[in-house]
Amino acid sequence: MPLCLPETRTCRDAPALRLFCFPYAGGGAAVFRGWQAMLPPELEVCIIELPGRGRRINEPLLHSMPAIICDLKRQLLPMLDRPFAFIGHSLGGLVAFELCHMLQNGGWPQPSCLFASACAAPQVGDVSTPIHNLPDAEFHAAIGNLGATPTEILNNKALMEFFSPIVRADFTVVETYQYVARSPLATPIFALVGDRDNLVPIERVAGWGDCTKAGFEVHVMSGDHFMLFSGLDVALGIVVEKLLRHLTPAAQPCDTDISLVAGVPPTLLG
């Protein structure tokens, strides 16, 4: 089954850049639907679908980061025939980061940018209490406290029996992830963080600057852990501005900067 859902990609022969989107734990391709219509026509949205959900529902769930990278590698490489960038939210940010290292280590093309949304710097580690091995009732309560699962799902036994293994597998990936120190990436990193994110507070994203030699910025948005989606206009304004800048041959790597994005969306270019 393809890496990107066909209906979420535009049918362009030669997009200027492909933006690969990586969902959060328990999320699927649907969380990025509608993005293509909000972006300039030269940018093509390619949404990552992990096994065990969506159109890959009949494939086994994956429970480790190495397994995910191995799965995505064979599907991603043929699509790197033009400039591209990665954006990942929470778990998706870690997956995108590890894919960047896989590409760099293999001598393959590098992303123009890496956007890590609501994702702590990988060397910081997960400081929350592990939940992936809790009994079902306690696990369901724990994911309910995160605020990403609709009440109608939490209160529906059949739906929880369906979704719970997906979420548990993804949390296993997060909570068993082992950071390995390597040479910094040759890709600029832009960290997006919510000013009310209790899971990934601002101080836990600063370490992303040590993961790259190509420039780093932090953009603080209004919102909680899911500010990427609640403040989508603002977030995509940042993404578009950075992508179009790095598509320009004369563009230089950005300096480290911490900026506050306050309420008013940047102009969407294009």
Backbone angles phi, psi at 90, to 5 degrees: 60, -115
Report CA-CA distances (Å) from 177 to 65, 89, 171. Answer: 6, 16, 10
Distance between CA 83 and CA 169 in Å, rounded? 32
Q: State yes or no: is 128 an active-site residue.
A: no
| Neighbour-count burial of 98, counting CB atoms closer than 10 A to its CB (0-12 exposed, 13-18 middle, 19+ buried) | buried
Q: Which residues contact 158 (CB under 8 A, 6 or more apart)?
A: none
Query: What would the DSSP string read from start to end of 140-176?
Result: HHHHHHHT-S-HHHHT-HHHHHHHHHHHHHHHHHHHH
Look up residue 210 and give its two tokens: 């040590």
Alpha helices in the chain, H assignment, sequence order = 35-38, 65-76, 91-106, 136-146, 151-154, 157-176, 227-230, 232-247
Report CA-CA distances (Å) from 52 to 28, 59, 86. Answer: 10, 5, 22
Look up residue 155 and give its two tokens: 């209160």
Q: Which of 64, 90, 117, 183 is catalytic?
A: 90
Q: Classify residue 65 as left (phi > 0), alpha (psi -120 to 50) or beta.
A: alpha
| Neighbour-count burial of 195, counting CB atoms closer than 10 A to its CB (0-12 exposed, 13-18 middle, 19+ buried) | middle
If you ran DSSP here, which 8-state letter would residue 253 be given? Answer: P
Q: Which residues are catalytic?
A: 90
